[in-house]
Copies of this chain bind each other. A is one copy, B any other.
Amino acid sequence: MGGDNGVGAVMAGIARSLKTSSQIHFLVHGKKNDLQKEMCNYPEIASSCSIISCEEVVKMDEKPSAALRSGKRSSMWSSLHSLATHNADIALSCGNTGALMAMAMVQLRKAPGVNRPAIAVLWPSRNDRGFNIVLDAGADIKAGGDDLLQYALMGVAYAKDGFSINSPRVGLLNVGTELYKGRTELHEASVLIEKAAKDLESFTFLGYVEGGDLPSSGVDVIVTDGFTGNIALKTGEGTASLIKYFLKETFTQSFMSKIGSILALSSLKKLNQKIDPRNVNGGIFLGLNGIVIKSHGGADAIGVAAAINLACQLAESGLSTKLTSQFQN
């Protein structure tokens, strides 16, 4: 029910994703009438969807604490409940991020040994894989040195188990690569992650990386606090969308450039896919007993389908079990 584009975008996304992987079954939580009405536009998805009726909806601008108090009958709560009771493998929402995290922490509880859960996102990258992993993208606005260490370890587990990246290279986001740069918690985290890399021998620590390294092929996992990560994420998306706007302007500027764009059409479409944030849509909540994926609130059919595809890939990888055993001693 959540997201800026409501039920329509979700149903269109489901229809889109079922075209490529028909094995998925959806438990769709929300206002029955609204869902049924929208489903009429996609009769082919009916057999793959069960509607779980919930008449309440968490608002996009609702304070997480308020949603937690009064939202026990909401579609968001219900979707997490189906995950907590093992009726679903993954929960996916386009709704209010803070409320989703708060409800997920109550229903799924933090995995043993985890202090702060984090949101990990896939960042478009120059490498062949097409993305790097960045966390925390906004679960918590602050993080101490210990928390940043845990993010590093969770990011490594996600990279290995979710995407088969062996010995991931981890960087810590800072305003410069020199050791003296940045805030105290970064200096602490740097020492802790360096030590963990030596002790565990399961990943490489690169030290500090900068904003310009987020799309680099020289790093796999980038660790930061949720405030900085969220600003960086939205800045990257904003820049990409600005350039798309300029690009469109460019190709309608003159007759010659219009012809040019027609000739280059298929290549331009590929470019568009690469720089389209909708195609790497889906932040995963790490550090809980269960996998929750938060789609961008502004996601349309393409974005929702991308998040669903990510969910399937992760469900099939058995990531959930591997992740939750990560911090157990």
| Distance in angstroms between the alpha carbons of A211 and B230 in the assembled complex | 8
Nearest Cβ on chain B to A9's Cβ, whole angstroms: 18
Q: In the assembled complex, which residues on chain B have CB atoms less than 8 Å from the CB atom of A243?
A: 239-240, 243, 275
B246 touches A257 (CB 8 A): no
Cβ of A235 and Cβ of B254 under 8 Å apart? no
Can you name 23 A-B pairs with beta carbons within 8 Å?
A: A126-B242, A138-B175, A141-B182, A175-B226, A175-B227, A183-B227, A211-B232, A211-B234, A211-B235, A211-B236, A212-B241, A214-B238, A232-B235, A236-B238, A239-B243, A243-B243, A246-B271, A250-B268, A253-B270, A257-B266, A260-B260, A260-B262, A261-B264
A46 within 8 A of B: no
Q: Give the nearest-CB partner of A247 in chain B.
A: B271
Question: C-beta contact mask, A283-305 vs B, less than 8 Å → 1, else 0?
Answer: 00000000000000000000000
| Contacts from A to B (Cβ < 8 Å) | 61, 63, 124-126, 138, 141-142, 173, 175, 178, 180, 182-183, 210-216, 224, 226-228, 230-243, 245-247, 249-251, 253-254, 256-257, 259-268, 270-271, 274-275
Among B228, B234, B257, B263, point to the contact of A256 (Cβ < 8 A). B263
Task: Check if A267 sits within 8 Å of B254, measured CB to CB.
Answer: yes
- The answer to whether A274 and B246 touch (CB under 8 A), given A142-B183, A260-B262, is yes
List the 7 closest pairs (A to B, CB-CB), nearest first. A211-B234, A260-B264, A260-B263, A212-B238, A211-B235, A257-B267, A257-B264
Instruction: Write the nearest CB–CB distance from A150 to chain B, whole angstroms.
Output: 20
Q: Which residues of B contact A251 (CB under 8 A)?
A: 264, 267
| From B61, B216, B226, B247, contact of A178 by CB (8 A) | B61
B175 touches A141 (CB 8 A): yes
Tell which of B210, B227, B236, B264 touches A236, judged by Cβ atoms closer than 8 Å: B236
Question: Are the CB atoms of B264 and A238 closer together than 8 Å?
Answer: no
Say whether B239 contacts A215, CB under 8 Å: yes
Closest Cβ of chain B to A145, distance in Å, is: 16
Q: Are B231 and A211 in contact (CB under 8 A)?
A: yes
Contacts of A271 in B (CB 8 A): 246-247, 249-250
> Among the interface residues A241, A246, A253, A264, which one has the most CB atoms of the partner chain B within 10 A?
A264
**Residue from the list B125, B182, B230, B237 in contact with A175, Cβ < 8 A:** B230
The complex places the Cα of A84 from the Cα of B260 at a distance, in Å, of 53
Contacts of A268 in B (CB 8 A): 250, 257
The CA of A124 and the CA of B236, in the complex, are separated in Å by 13
Whether A214 pairs with B235 at a CB distance below 8 angstroms is: yes
A266 to chain B, nearest CB (A): 7
Whole-angstrom distance between the Cβ of A269 and the nearest chain B Cβ: 9
A264 touches which of B61, B142, B237, B256 (Cβ 8 Å): B256
In the bound complex, CA of A212 to CA of B259 (Å): 32
By a CB distance below 8 angstroms, the chain B residues around A211 are 230-238
Min distance, Cβ A254 to any Cβ of chain B, angstroms:
6
